[in-house]
Amino acid sequence: MGMTCERVRERLPEWAAGALGVEVRDEVASHLEVCATCAEEARTVRLLAGARPAVPGELEVRLRAALDREWAATAAVGGSGVGSDRADRRDRAARPRWARIPGGLPAWVAAAAVLAAVVGRGVLRPGAQDDSPVLAYAEEDAPALLWDEGVVAGAPVLEGLTDEELAQLLEEMEP
């Protein structure tokens, strides 16, 4: 039994690319000889396939160079492998210390830090509608809330900070 129109049309891209096995290719050819509609569609697909856009010759070199630069930048931070913890560490290192507050330490420590900031600097003005916090680092695992004044609140977590860094952080946040 010959191929149906639907089956033939689904295979036309492979037919135009010469990627069909001999048996299927012959079946398609037989169908196209007797079906004008499919033959017309085959012509359309063949014309499209005949002018696949060329890729700029220098693009691969350009991409490698860009990846080289990124690789070198992440290598300076350490880690093992692209996109794993290298970039995360670099991103964290690039942030100010107060913005690196992630999540592993007791909640009271985080709460104390936020309280110190809020009370000490008086940045919260609950009555003002335009003081709504914005979500910062939305793509990070542990989002933090950021006010214009730069005080972090919300879901503060302190992963990656040593005790000394934490103590210094709290000290810096003192009024």
Interface residues with another protein (CB under 8 A) are 9-10, 13-14, 16-17, 19, 40-41, 44-45, 47-53, 55-56, 59-60, 62-64, 66-67, 70-71, 80-85, 87-88
Burial 134-157 (b: 16+ CB within 10 A, else e): eeebeeeebebbbbeeebbbbebb
Residue with Cβ nearer another protein (49 or 109): 49
Give which of 79, 77, 170, 60 is closest to 119, Cα–Cα.
170
- The CB-of-89 to another protein minimum distance in angstroms stands at 12
Residue with Cβ nearer another protein (38 or 153): 38
Residue with Cβ nearer another protein (88 or 105): 88
Residue with Cβ nearer another protein (85 or 123): 85
- The CB-of-175 to another protein minimum distance in angstroms stands at 38
- The CB-of-63 to another protein minimum distance in angstroms stands at 5
